Amino acid sequence: MSNQFKFTSTKLKSLPPTPHSSRSTETEYSDTEVPGLKLLVGKTGSKRFLFRYTYNKTKRSISLGRYPDVSISAAREQVRAHRQSLNEGYDPREKRLTGANKGAFPTIQQFFYDTYLPLAKKKKRTWNDDEARFRLHCSSIADLPYNELTARHVLAIQMEMSTPTDSHEAYATATCNRVIAMLKTVGKLAEQLMDIPNVATKVSLLPCNNLRQRYCTLDETQRIINAALAYPNKVVGSFIALLFLTGCRLDELRVRQWTDIDWELQELFIERTKNGSPHKVYLNETMIDILLSLPRYPQCPYIFAGRYHEGPISRPKVAFDYIKKSAFIERPDEVVLHSARHSLATNLIANGTDVTQVQRLLNHKSLQTTQRYVKLDEAAQRRSTQKLTDLIFQSNVS
């Protein structure tokens, strides 16, 4: 098929993806009915409309949206309107961004809730995290028309989050980066749908300090569990203790319900984990005893009931800080709740457990993910070095 033809639904649907071996990321097709209307097909088969034109001897383009979200007739109407602007002596792109139709641009808050979030709910299991990040950290830009957003606005959010003030401590690097990464993703969608430059891409993520690489030794783990079980709030303390005993992901354990437990088989069932698959947590007697000691409330189905016994507990950061202090943990800021999962994997592997067994225990799809935990503490490394030296010298003696 020629790359120039009259666009029809049948023909556009039949266009093949761009070959993965191609040097170009997209293949371009031209509509013969309305000059300047293009369709670009990516290597995944995605299709998007584009208007190409020349203004003051400079080649330019305007994104019109994705097909079939934008119909062929709607794309043609947009091109005709842009050509009318050219006939009147205006650059349609500049007019669209800065002039006559400024009121047509939604605010960042409107675009986030009306356009981005509905799509995120269909594609991301963690869409609610994006909603919380926007609500908590992006209020300064919420009422700004999207076409007026600048990289300076995004940088200001990053600086505010990463700088301690009298009202709050500096947020962790990973938290700051997740907010900026979300704004980059929202900006990419705005760029596709409204042809607004994604200014968030100009703001670099903060360098990670790898504090999450810190794990707790067996002795530290034992002290944390003991301090957690002695914590005044039994539900919160038991939750933290079970995090360190099971290696479950924080939110996957936090929202478990009593019906998820098979007491006879001693199993805790997680219907859908982060990687999309179900998972069984095999409960030992210690875990069973902790679960049996928890209070139950008729109106609350959750194992770890919240303060008002209606929903699950929230993430217990304040309680964990207290527990780390009670357990005399050194460098406590480097130990986060996710360290429970990291510590379980690292200690099991360091003490001889096969990495594939740890993979199944943690419900990792890829063995490569589990192998990130294959590291020994300093004492273990010193023992290994000494063992190798002993073997070498013993061999020389014999």
Q: Kindly state whether residues 246 and 361 are assigned to the same domain.
A: yes
CA distance 169 to 165: 6
The CATH number linked to 113 is 1.10.150
275 located within any domain: yes
Where does a domain end: 54, 74, 103? 103
pLDDT band of 153, cuts 50, 70, 90: very high
Token pair 């219907």 is found at 271
Lowest mean pLDDT of 141-145, 173-177, 368-372, name the range.
Answer: 368-372
396 located within any domain: no
Q: Count of H helices and E strands in the chain?
A: 17, 8
What is the per-residue pLDDT across 224-270, written as a single tens digit (0 to 9) for each? 999 999 999 999 999 999 999 988 888 889 999 999 999 999 999 98
The CATH number linked to 21 is 3.30.160.390
Per-residue buried b or exposed e for 323-345, using 16+ beta carbons within 10 Å of the residue's own CB:
bbeebebeeeebbbbebbbbbbb
Range of the domain at 241: 213-380
Q: Kindly state whether residues 140 and 248 are assigned to the same domain.
A: no
310 located within any domain: yes
Say if residues 48 and 18 touch (Cβ distance below 8 Å). no
What is the per-residue pLDDT across 93-109, written as a single tens digit (0 to 9) for each? 766 555 444 446 888 99
CA distance 233 to 3: 68
Q: Kindly state whether residues 260 and 152 are assigned to the same domain.
A: no
Please tell me the total count of domains within the chain: 3
The CATH number linked to 295 is 1.10.443.10
Q: Give which of 12, 2, 93, 104 is closest to 55, Cα–Cα.
A: 93
pLDDT, residue 12, reads 94
Count CB atoms within 10 A of the CB of residue 125.
13
What is the per-residue pLDDT across 290-337, written as a single tens digit (0 to 9) for each? 999 999 998 999 999 998 888 999 989 999 999 999 999 998 888 888
pLDDT, residue 209, reads 55
What is the strand order of the sheet 58-67 is part of? 4-5, 26-31, 37-42, 47-55, 58-67
Q: Kindly state whether residues 254 and 358 are assigned to the same domain.
A: yes
Residue range 170-194: mean pLDDT, rounded: 90
CA distance 359 to 345: 9
Q: What is the pTM of this model?
A: 0.50
Q: Kindly state whether residues 200 and 271 are assigned to the same domain.
A: no
Q: Kindly state whether residues 235 and 161 are assigned to the same domain.
A: no
H or E, element range at 61: strand 58-67
Lowest mean pLDDT of 13-22, 40-49, 300-309, 353-362, name the range.
Answer: 353-362
- Mean pLDDT computed over every residue of the chain: 84
358 located within any domain: yes
239 located within any domain: yes
Q: Can the peptide bond before residue 316 be classed as cis, meaning omega within 30 degrees of 0? A: no
